[in-house]
Structure 1
Amino acid sequence: MPSDSQPSEPPLPNIRVLAQYAKSVSFDSKDGVQAAGLPSQPNIELGIDVGATAVQGGPHTYETNIKLMARAHVQDETIFEIELVYAGIFDVSGAPEAHVEPILMIECPRLLFPFARRVIADITREGGFPPLLIDPVDFAGLYNEQVNQASS
């Protein structure tokens, strides 16, 4: 017979995407047609940054953004550079205060990433290059690295 004195599990946090959008986009390139005839495959440098802030709209409303930067180059010659800040407005309710930051920095970027990845691929393709398909990102590892750097 089950006991009624067992503690109940806390409710799971509820994460709702209220909006998502390209906050800023920048694409600079050398002529795509000329770049297609390069003697070698360009090197791609990638950078990523994640940020989150509280916004007006409710006590549990936040904006999380992913900043993706990429530079394609052959030796010292830049072929193209792209920078995208892709953001989402999220309602995060039912989470203990200590869990809100990891949700905003890990789970929310996971929800946004496929859309940001597609914007990058579309812009590079429309710029006359093969689409730049960014590999999936380990947002938990990125967050843990940021926490470790802040504590050292």
Structure 2
Amino acid sequence: MAEQQPQAEDHQVLLRTVYTKDLSYEAPNAPEIFREEWKPEVALQFDIKVNPLVENTYEVVLTLTVTVKTGEKTAYLVELQQAGILSVKGFQEQELAPLFFVYAPSILFPYARQTVTDLVVKGGFPQLVLQHIHFDQVYAQKVAEQQQTTQQQDNKTPAGKTSSSDTPKRAAPGVKASKLY
């Protein structure tokens, strides 16, 4: 008898908590920067890491680095790790990656955005509202890049010569690949 796949109603995702794991703010050129013309250039970088905690429970950490410059001078730098603990049930391992790299950061980002906005205003600068990140599009792009890299590696393997170390993993990035970005 064939093993039955879990039904969609058997899939559960519980957000246990959302918290700020680490936060850093620097205004290295204050107070001089306040006397200059305000023409901000905003650079945003982000990273997502997944840390297994106990069975079916994971910490997802969204790290944002916001650097704002005016001209050549850095006005301020914010580094934030917004984290959440997720419990999941009924998912196959290959189904977890979208949960960790799309669903979870989409929940964490509004908290991170508000923390950054509040911190920047308290630092004496004009309000900064970070635009939404489409984690689904970023994830799809990363998966496509990984597939392309895998195909290129397959094409470089000499015919008739393969080994387990030469054969790349074809599965979508998941829990074991704790850093996707």
TM-score greater than 0.5 by the shorter chain = yes
Identity of aligned residues (%): 24
Paired position in structure 1 for 2:92: 96
Q: Which protein has the bigger strand share? A: 1
In the alignment, does 2:63 pair up with 1:72? no
Counterpart contact for 2:53–2:59, Cα < 8 Å: yes
Q: CA deviation at 1:98?
A: 1.2
Q: Would the alpha carbon gap of residues 9 and 61 (structure 1) be closer, same or farther in structure 2, given more than 3 Å must change?
A: closer
Aligned-partner Cα distance in 2 for 1:133–1:20: 20
3-state SS of the aligned residue for 2:103? helix
* TM-score of the superposed pair, with normalisation by structure 2: 0.72
Residue 44 (structure 1) aligned to one of 42, 45, 53: 42
Cα deviation 1:9-63 (Å, max 9, x = unaligned)? 82242211111111111110032x653442241111111111212112xx21011
The runs of 5 or more residues in structure 1 that have no matched partner are 1-6
Q: CA deviation at 1:75?
A: 2.1
Paired position in structure 1 for 2:117: 121
Q: Would the alpha carbon gap of residues 128 and 116 (structure 1) be closer, same or farther in structure 2, given more than 3 Å must change?
A: same
Q: CA deviation at 1:82?
A: 0.7
3-state SS of the aligned residue for 2:8? coil
RMSD: 2.1
Higher mean C-alpha deviation, range 115-124 or range 69-78: 69-78
The runs of 5 or more residues in structure 2 that have no matched partner are 150-181
Q: How many residue pairs align between the two structures? A: 143
